[in-house]
Amino acid sequence: MARTARYLLTGIALDPDAELPLHRQVYAQLRAAILDGRLAPGVRLPSSRLFAHELGCARGTVLLAFDQLHAEGYLRSTGGSGTFVAEEVPDHLLSVRRRSKQRAASADRRPRLSVLAEKLLAAGGPRPSGGTPFATGQPALGDFPHDIWAKLMAESWRSAGSGRLLALTAAGHPALREAIADYLRGARGLDCRAEDVIVTSGTQQALNLVARLVLDPGDRVWLEEPGYPALRAILTAVGAAIEAVPVDREGISVAAGRRIAPRARLAVVAPSHQYPLGAVMSLPRRLELLRWAEEADAWIIEDDYDSEFRYRGRPLEPLRLLDESGRVIYLGTFSKVLFPGLRLGYLLAPPALGATLIRAIPLLEAPAASVAQAALARFIAEGHFAAHLRRMRHLYAARQAALIEAAQRHLGDMLTLAPDEAGMHLVGYPLAERARGFDDVALAEAAAGAGIVLAPLSRYYAGPARQSGFLFGYAGATPAAMEAAMLRLAEILKRELPKPEAASGAPPRDEAGEKHCEIRTTGTRRYR
């Protein structure tokens, strides 16, 4: 289908005092625009009448220019449909070849970047993947209540006054703040009010905002090792000195953190379900972390990742609930729970810091997008959110079981997976006899060639001691899709991996002395 120009091409202007006739000026400028790509093949031009009106000349002037361009093959006309740039025009190949050389030369020239930019890009790590059976952080979009959401959005839009089209208050829509506070009181037991809630565009924006207010360049920050690479990138961008603190079966090792950076200014943790390993921070470890923060006069950012998707038992109390000295800043997101394009989350800060955050948001960050906030407030308040979570817990538990069954059937002699009580992904580790030569980055690249996108576990580490494996997202994939993808992956791994060797010698240990985790398909989590 031909593209229609929505406005006249900028840069075309006529000079009545020039020696060149006006119709030749129009011809020359249109021809140049076609040859240098500003008017692409197939673009529809405005009518000669509109063109003449905008240029302030007679229609006959434009018609003369169009006729010349038609005769030379630059334009084509379709009866009743208008005038279009021809798909193939004179000098086309020469023009394209010249532009291609220019683009290639530009692409080969590496831009000069700042030291901060180099660090930021190095810390970026793997990009999230979507639209594939094993994508992480991908909810079951086909099972989202689209009709209910569309109805709430339409009603919210119809009832909105002109104020809804303006920026909201920095802290977010009042009704959404109230709905989030009600949800957190009931679901997570937090003692909070609407005025304590700050609506954000997600976890990353919340972290960026907090970090810029509480950290000075060079301040040391504890980050879980392995951990989410985007968090490292954000903290690098604000000039923080990042300290990778190992995670074991009880969560982040506070003892290791004390050895590495006892006077760190901030710790960022995901105690409910650590990403990517899935460890749940024990109650003694939570209390130990809170004691350290009080002694060091430090802040703790609690990313309550995946707390909604717990399939057995009851999650431990949030750090925020155990915090008696006002050290914990609590973050949550709706993007992974509902759909990624929503881009809404929230934070709870201690009262004194919360007031500062609200004053600073207009100066440091754009407030969260306003259009969907009223609809989300009703979605929560009318019970649709809680009902959706209940359905997704049952669905994701079934999909996790389907993933493990498919892995046992197709990858049982190469990788190991085990059930997890929470979350939206599992980690697959190579068997001991397959660990030698298991390059998860190279294997992920080979799988990508077959349309399977896997996140290599080693890329979630900041330090030199790394463990190989893959992250398998299951929430957004049907059992049939996972079965087919697992079969293709098995063929790739059998082709790419060296033949198995008998395991011998002591198992590896990382530099911090923490034990590596191996997950077996029996459902028992073993630490070697």
What would you report as the CA-atom Rg of the chain, rounded to the nearest whole angstrom? 29
Residue 130 lies in a domain: no
Alpha carbon of residue 164 to chain centroid: 27
pLDDT given at position 156: 84
Place of tokens 């679901």: 187
Q: Are residues 326 and 404 in the same domain?
A: no
Tell me if 345 sits within 8 A of 331, measured CB to CB.
Answer: yes
Q: Is residue 61 part of a domain?
A: yes
Please tell me whether residues 233 and 294 are part of one structural domain. yes
Residue-wise pLDDT tens digits, 204-228: 899 999 999 999 999 999 999 999 9
| 212 and 274 together in one domain | yes
Same domain, 418 and 397: yes
Structural domain range at position 466: 387-527
Classify 434 as helix, strand or coil. helix
What number of H helices and E strands is found in the chain? 17, 18
Q: Would you say 51 and 8 are in contact if contact means Cβ atoms under 8 Å apart?
A: yes
Say if residue 270 is in the same domain as residue 405.
no
Calculate the CA 229 to chain-centre distance: 11
In what helix (H) or strand (E) does residue 48 lie, and over which residues does it extend? Answer: helix 48-55
d(CA 68, CA 152): 55
Task: Return the pLDDT at 111.
Answer: 75
- The DSSP element (H or E) to which 179 belongs, if any, is helix 174-187
Q: Tell me, what's the pLDDT at 143?
A: 94
If asked whether residues 479 and 510 sit together in one domain, one would say: yes
Let me know if residue 150 belongs to a domain: no
Within a domain: residue 99? no
Question: Rounded CA gap, 416 and 516, in Å?
Answer: 14
Looking at the fold, whether 343 and 239 belong to one and the same domain comes out as yes
Residues of the chain with pLDDT under 70: 1-11, 90-110, 116, 119-120, 122-131, 160-168, 315, 501-528
Answer yes or no: is 369 within a domain. yes
**pLDDT at 516 (0 to 100):** 38
How many domains does the chain divide into? Answer: 3
Instruction: Check residue 40 and give its pLDDT.
Output: 84
Residue found under tokens 């972390």: 289
CA 496 to chain centre: 30
220 and 345 in a common domain = yes
- What's the CATH code of the domain at 289? 3.40.640.10
* In a shared domain, residues 334 and 397: no
Q: Which two tokens stand for residue 3?
A: 């593209």
pLDDT at 126: 59
Domain boundary among 85, 106, 140: 85
369 Cβ neighbours under 8 A, 6+ residues apart: 201, 343, 344
CATH code for the domain in which residue 49 is found: 1.10.10.10
Tens digit of each residue's pLDDT (9 = 90 or more) over 42-90: 888 888 888 888 888 999 999 999 999 998 889 988 777 788 988 887 6
Supply the DSSP string of 284-295, one letter for each residue.
HHHHHHHHHHHH
Residue 121 lies in a domain: no
C-alpha distances in Å from residue 200, one per residue of 343, 353, 361, 431: 8, 16, 10, 42
Residue 137 lies in a domain: no
As a whole number of angstroms, the distance between CA 314 and CA 401 comes to 20
Please indicate, yes or no, whether residues 510 and 489 belong to a single structural domain of this protein.
yes
Residues in the chain, overall count: 528
**pTM of this prediction?**
0.77
The answer to whether 348 and 196 have CB atoms below 8 angstroms apart is: yes
